[in-house]
Amino acid sequence: MKQTIPLLPLFHKFIKDTESGKRLKKNGTRITPDSIQNYRSVLLNLERFIQKKQFDWRICNVSKRNKREFASEKNYWKKFYHAFTAYLYSKDCHDNYVGTNVKIIRTFFNYLKFEKDIQTGEFHKQFHVLNQEVEVLVISPEQLKFLIHDAVFDANMPAHLRQIKDVFVFGSTTGLRFSDIYLLSNKNFENNGADWYLKVKSKKTKTYTAVKLPPYAVEIYKKYKSKSNLVLLFKPISLSNFNKHLKAIGKLAGFNAPLEQIREKRGKVSKIIGARPVPFYQKMSSHMMRRTAITTLLILGMPEHLVRKISGHSQTSNSFGRYVHYAQAYMDMEIDKVHKLLNSYD
């Protein structure tokens, strides 16, 4: 009779080893708190699935199994994959969320094999990771210029939103992540004659960048800088509050273009049940700063290799291609307007 090992305790150990730093990324750096939170979410889903479906979630060492036993184990994991993903879809989850869960379970299998020396049989490689290519949402160059230059809008804005707007403009110019912006201090700014440079090491990628700042970004820096190099440039705020205030700014600015809420289930387009188009401002978030900076640089003609350097993307980064695709689509749309004007002779 084959011996089995319960997997939920091992998944708890997987999370604990990640939190403590015992388990690291391939480059030797610690795994981010956001990733660990995703692990906890998957654990919760697994616990609920196991309880509801009465599924015996276990593993056994397959190194000494005969052909029949190996085939039986393979079928067991095939059954688990289909049952678990069906459970998530039944909870009205969509491909990206389900795919994230499956991807983390695959990571857990690698942990079992390489760090716990359990011969898993690599059945996890048959777990397909579905994902939907979500549209890159950014504000247009015209909207960004409005936020930068419209003095009346700025003057009429509630005081508690003004710094959020300045942070958003600064991030949409420099391409910094939310976490990096709120770590800035005087030490990150360098004056060279008439020019100012932002010098920063990304908290996520550990890469250094030096970006020349436009006058309006320099004014934002001077507005908030402290006499002490130890004081952060911007007053810290939680991510949830930042996003809430940013949506309020977008509403005041009239960024109301309707957006369809479309997701995919099992690779097929599925509108969110009962959902109506939402105004653009409701989709505004901290992620939009970095995306806006990258696409604006591309749209306005900066070569890709320079944009990659500023944004910290490697030459092999797959995610960067999404920005290039979006920028090309935007330029095609604009040039179509020109072609339409040229195509008529009045």
**Residue 4 · residue 58 · CB < 8 Å:** yes
Domain count, the chain: 2
pTM to 2 decimal places? 0.65
**Single-letter amino acid code for the residue at 268:** K
Nearest CA to 149 out of 217, 221, 197 is that of 217
Torsion-angle region of 206 (φ positive above 0: left; ψ -120 to 50: alpha; else: beta): left
What's the token pair of residue 85? 């993903």
Answer yes or no: do 70 and 155 share one domain. no
Nearest CA to 116 out of 37, 11, 2, 1 is that of 11
Q: What is the pLDDT of residue 309?
A: 74
| CATH code where residue 243 lies | 1.10.443.10
Q: What is the pLDDT of residue 253?
A: 96
Answer yes or no: do 88 and 162 share one domain. no
The answer to the question of residue 132 being in a domain is no
Please give the share of the chain, as a percent, with pLDDT higher than 70: 88
**Residue 197 · residue 186 · CB < 8 Å:** no
Q: What is the pLDDT of residue 146?
A: 96
The answer to the question of residue 84 being in a domain is yes
What's the token pair of residue 273? 């049940």
> Please, what's the b/e burial string for 281-317 (b: 16 or more CB within 10 A of its CB; e: otherwise)?
bebbbbbbbbbbbbbbbbbeeeebeebbebbbbeeee
Give me the half-sphere count of Cα atoms (radius 13 Å) on the Cβ side of residue 236.
6
In angstroms, the CA 212 to CA 199 distance is 9
The answer to the question of residue 134 being in a domain is no
| Segment 144-170, tens digit of pLDDT | 999 999 999 999 999 899 999 999 999
In angstroms, the CA 343 to CA 346 distance is 10
Nearest CA to 197 out of 211, 178, 209 is that of 211
The answer to the question of residue 131 being in a domain is no
The answer to the question of residue 22 being in a domain is yes
Answer yes or no: do 97 and 207 share one domain. no
Judged by DSSP in three states, 212 sits in strand
Q: Higher-confidence residue: 315 or 179? A: 179
| Domain carrying residue 44 | 5-126
Answer yes or no: do 183 and 243 share one domain. yes
